[in-house]
Amino acid sequence: MPETTSTRPLRILSGIQPSGQLTIGNYLGALKQWVQLQDDYECYYCIVDMHAITVPREPAELRASTRMTAALYLACGIRPERATIFVQSHVSAHAELAWILGCLTPMGWLNRMTQFKDKAAKQQAESVSAGLFTYPTLMAADILLYQANLVPVGDDQRQHLELTRDLAQRFNSQYGETFTVPEGFFPKAGARIMGLDNPLVKMSKSETSDYHAVYMLDEPDQIKRKIMRAVTDSGNSIYFTDDPEKAGVNNLLTIYQAFTDETKEAIEARFAGKGYAELKKAVAEVVVEGLRPIQARYRELTAESDLIDQVLMQGAAKARLVANTTLNTVRERIGFLAAADRA
């Protein structure tokens, strides 16, 4: 029988793709919340390398990115004794459940996914992989295997989360109660950080232009240079707004808010009558200071050889136990014969 939420603490699962250097968007949209949630929930934080190969990737870079992502999880303050940190491809149940869920997913649902449309548009039509199209069924498998109650993610993942919920409900109604139907958990500030060079698109780690993103491991000078060059507008007033004309200023204020946890009112009062250069200087300052301790811990952690690999090995062992429990129930429910020799 699947475990029920009444007999255990609430669970969380989330993941980040090792698809390049992590940005302050990944930090503010995801990681910062993960750290805060680990004391109150049973947390599973995954490095989703199988998602990262939905677009072509250099093997050596994927390996390096996977370790770097794991080290950043730790550097941000995720404690392996509180939260399970693991690599998706180390737990083969993810691939198996993704296949099963794929067989339950109408193509029409996948056709509606805006992330697929955006990413596919950036490639030659004939080279877009089937994996990029079925990406959301793998994400659903990640979440449902752990019977997660909450999924802390940025705003861009709302649609994928809705699809996960729909799939859980579809499976449950077809085969009997099996999966917990998860809820999204979105940060109050910083759920959608925009590109510094183009505040109308989401800041993303796979965007290549030099002044698009601040990376979590950027040097203070680089951070300052990037923020001072951020696109704003020809006006001179500083306030939070949905007006696309002022998206650049709104984005800088949002970054400031997410790093300082101050209220919008306090921030607007602070910058009343000031110019954009002053705003940018202040934003650069809070970003540099916010990242400084993380960067210092990152350097310490990566100086210890084997530490990351050890954490990942132990994490995978813990994750497998939970994932395989769910997967066994799923196999049985859908009518797969029990394999006599399977552990």
For residues 218-236, b (16+ Cβ closer than 10 Å) or e, as one string? beeeebbebbeebbbbeee
Residue 115, by phi and psi: left (phi above 0), alpha (psi -120 to 50) or beta? alpha
| HSE-up of residue 324 (Cα within 13 Å, Cβ side) | 11
Note whether 70 and 81 are within 8 A (CB): no
Residue 182 touching ligand LTN (CB under 6 A): no
- Tell me, yes or no, if 117 is annotated catalytic: no
Task: Tell me, by CB under 6 A, how many residues bind ligand ATP.
Answer: 21
Residue 156 touching ligand ATP (CB under 6 A): yes
Shortest distance, position 226 Cβ to ligand ATP, whole Å: 14
C-alpha 121, offset from chain centre: 22
- Tell me, yes or no, if 205 is annotated catalytic: yes
Which residue is catalytic, options 205, 226, 246, 280? 205
CA distance 8 to 144: 16
Contact pick of 47, 53, 76, 151 for ligand LTN (by CB under 6 A): 151
Shortest distance, position 18 Cβ to ligand ATP, whole Å: 8
Residue 32 touching ligand LTN (CB under 6 A): no
Residues 182-221 that bind ligand ATP (CB under 6 A): 191-193, 202-206
Geometric angle at alpha carbon 120, from 106 and 190, rounded to 5°: 90
Contact pick of 87, 139, 223, 267 for ligand LTN (by CB under 6 A): 139
CA distances to 38, 191, 225, 336 from 152, rounded to whole Å, are 11, 10, 31, 33
Contact pick of 12, 30, 223, 253 for ligand ATP (by CB under 6 A): 30
- Identify what 25 binds: ligand ATP, ligand LTN, none; CB under 5 to 8 Å per kind: ligand ATP
Task: Tell me, by CB under 6 A, how many residues bind ligand LTN.
Answer: 13
Helix (H, G, I), strand (E, B) or coil at 13: strand
- Identify what 202 binds: ligand ATP, ligand LTN, none; CB under 5 to 8 Å per kind: ligand ATP
Q: Which is nearer to ligand LTN, 153 or 283 (CB)?
A: 153
Which residue is catalytic, options 32, 117, 119, 318? 119
- Identify what 26 binds: ligand LTN, ligand ATP, none; CB under 5 to 8 Å per kind: ligand ATP
CA distance 73 to 66: 11
Residue 327 touching ligand LTN (CB under 6 A): no
Contact pick of 25, 136, 184, 248 for ligand ATP (by CB under 6 A): 25
Residue 153 touching ligand LTN (CB under 6 A): yes
Residue 254 touching ligand LTN (CB under 6 A): no
CA distance 23 to 26: 5
- Identify what 151 binds: ligand LTN, ligand ATP, none; CB under 5 to 8 Å per kind: ligand LTN
Q: Nearest-CA neighbor of 180 among 135, 136, 138, 143?
A: 143
Between 307-334 and 130-145, two packed helices, what is the crossing angle to 10 degrees? Answer: 90
List the structure tokens of 100: 């099963």
Geometric angle at alpha carbon 261, from 237 and 299, rounded to 5°: 110
Contact pick of 160, 212, 224, 226 for ligand LTN (by CB under 6 A): 160
Q: Which is nearer to ligand ATP, 51 or 178 (CB)?
A: 51
Q: Which residues bind ligand ATP (CB under 6 A)?
A: 16-17, 19, 23, 25-26, 28-30, 153-154, 156-157, 191-193, 202-206
Residues assigned a catalytic role? 119, 202, 205
